[in-house]
């Protein structure tokens, strides 16, 4: 199965460059037309500047992204992602999964491993599209995929650099849309949700794993102390980067509360929307269906 995996990777190197250019052109055109104020962490910036700042953050942290995830969460992010995959419980044949903001591949790789456990002899191969606006993150993901040497049993994976607010995919293209720890970095969350709804097939499922809000006041105080007093210095020590991790903890506080985000998903047209808090609300899983 090794030649198949390598072929898949090579086939998609040319589109990567094309989509990368288009993603940035689309953001620039949209920002020029409506250049309103928005937030970048606790800073107020123009919309045309936010995507550049976010892009720079992830360019800077790409190489140390997985190390810092383990350090900041003490490894718990792996448990959150495992639970996320359990809640998704992908079943059926020929599933097409779009993993948005999936750069380094954590969700996609879990899905591919899940598929290999499906033993039905007549199972149709599935396809995963890992999509991210940052090419550096995708490069790290591709390198990780090559090192994994995971048998695929005919399942395929591709890597596409594109903007979540203006996806280069046809309507009703995917069975499942996942986005983990990415949507809070987008300038227009409503546009991201609208695009997710557009590219999903009828009956398709939207699932989001994102940092959220702790409601218990004592736990919230402890969490805030850890976030602001420990995480940025940890970023400086382990990754020689303070500012990106200062942005990280600030961006979490600016993200909508669980019920507010649920309403936004419903407003995008999704039905049966619900959410589940993990670790007292430090993160939440939101789910909805295109019916």
Residue with tokens 């420990």: 230
Has 132 been labeled as part of a binding site? yes
CB 116 within 8 A of CB 128: no
Q: Residue 21 has which token pair?
A: 């250019």
Measure the CA–CA gap between 131 and 153, rounded to whole angstroms: 22
| Residue 224 in this model has a pLDDT that exceeds 90 | yes
- Kindly state the helix (H) or strand (E) to which residue 196 belongs, with its residue range: helix 189-199
Secondary structure of residue 125 in the 3-state scheme: coil
**Structural domain contains residue 21:** no
Query: Does a structural domain hold residue 75?
Result: yes
Is residue 56 a part of any domain in this protein?
yes
CB-based contacts of 71, cutoff 8 Å, min separation 6: 234, 238
The answer to whether residue 8 sits within a structural domain is no
The secondary element (H helix, E strand) that includes residue 120 is: none
Which among 291, 257, 246 is positioned nearest to 272, based on CA atoms? 291
**23 within a domain of the structure (yes/no):** no
Sorted by sequence, the CB contacts under 8 Å of residue 224 that are 6+ apart come out as: none
Rounded to a whole number of angstroms, the CA Rg of the chain reads: 18
Average of per-residue pLDDT across 189-201: 98
- Do the annotations mark residue 122 as ligand-binding? no
Q: Choose among 203, 193, 220, 232: nearest CA to 277.
A: 220
Residue with tokens 């949209």: 30
Q: Read off the CATH number of the domain in which 54 is found.
A: 3.40.50.150
pTM over the 0.85 mark: no
pLDDT at 291 over 90: yes
**Of 82-86, 116-120, 268-272, where does mean pLDDT reach its minimum?**
116-120
| In 34-169, alpha helices (H) | 47-61, 65-73, 76-88, 106-116, 135-148
d(CA 177, CA 208): 8
pLDDT in tens, 57-113: 667 666 677 777 888 888 899 999 999 999 998 766 789 999 999 988 999 999 998
Does 248 reside within a domain? Answer: no
Q: Is 106 exposed, middle or buried (0-12, 13-18, 19+ CB in 10 A)?
A: buried
Q: Output the pLDDT for position 68.
A: 79
Q: Are 180 and 250 in contact (CB under 8 A)?
A: no
Residue 1 pLDDT more than 60? no
Instruction: Report the b/e string of 225-250 with b at 16+ CB within 10 A.
Output: eebeeebbebbeeebebeebbbbbbb
**d(C-alpha 171, C-alpha 272), whole Å:** 21
Range of the domain at 111: 41-215+256-290
The domain tally of the chain equals 1
* pLDDT level of residue 6 (50, 70, 90 thresholds): very low
Specify the DSSP element, H or E, that contains 262: helix 258-267
Please check whether residue 223 lies inside any domain of the structure.
Answer: no
- The answer as to whether 18 is a domain residue is no
The pLDDT confidence band at residue 55, using thresholds 50, 70 and 90, is low
What's the Cα-to-Cα distance from 37 to each of 24, 56, 105, rounded to whole Å? Answer: 19, 19, 32
């Amino acid at each position: 199965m090794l030649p198949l995996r390598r072929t898949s990777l090579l086939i998609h190197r040319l589109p990567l460059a094309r989509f990368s250019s288009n993603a940035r052109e689309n953001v620039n055109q949209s920002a020029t037309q409506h250049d309103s104020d928005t937030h970048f962490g606790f800073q107020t910036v123009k919309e045309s500047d936010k995507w550049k700042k976010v892009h720079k953050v992830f360019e800077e942290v790409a190489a140390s992204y997985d190390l810092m995830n383990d350090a900041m969460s003490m490894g718990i992010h792996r448990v959150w992602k495992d639970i996320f995959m359990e809640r998704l419980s992908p079943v059926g044949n020929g599933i097409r999964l779009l993993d948005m903001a999936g750069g380094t591949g954590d969700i996609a790789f879990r899905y591919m491993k899940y598929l290999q456990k499906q033993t039905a002899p007549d199972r149709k191969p599935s396809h995963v599209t890992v999509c991210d606006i940052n090419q550096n993150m995708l490069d790290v993901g591709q390198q990780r995929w090559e090192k994994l040497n995971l048998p695929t049993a005919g399942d395929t994976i591709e890597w596409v650099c594109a903007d979540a607010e203006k996806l280069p995919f046809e309507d009703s293209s995917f069975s499942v849309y996942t986005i983990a720890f990415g949507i809070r970095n987008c300038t227009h969350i409503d546009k991201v949700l609208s695009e997710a709804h557009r590219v999903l097939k009828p009956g398709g499922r939207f699932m989001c794993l994102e940092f959220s809000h702790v409601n218990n006041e004592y736990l919230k105080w402890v969490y805030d102390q850890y976030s602001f007093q420990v995480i940025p210095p940890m970023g400086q020590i382990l990754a020689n980067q303070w500012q990106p991790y200062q942005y990280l903890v600030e961006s979490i506080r600016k993200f909508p509360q669980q019920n507010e985000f649920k309403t936004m998903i419903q407003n995008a047209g999704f039905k049966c929307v619900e959410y589940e808090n993990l670790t007292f609300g430090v993160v939440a899983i939101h789910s909805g269906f295109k019916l």
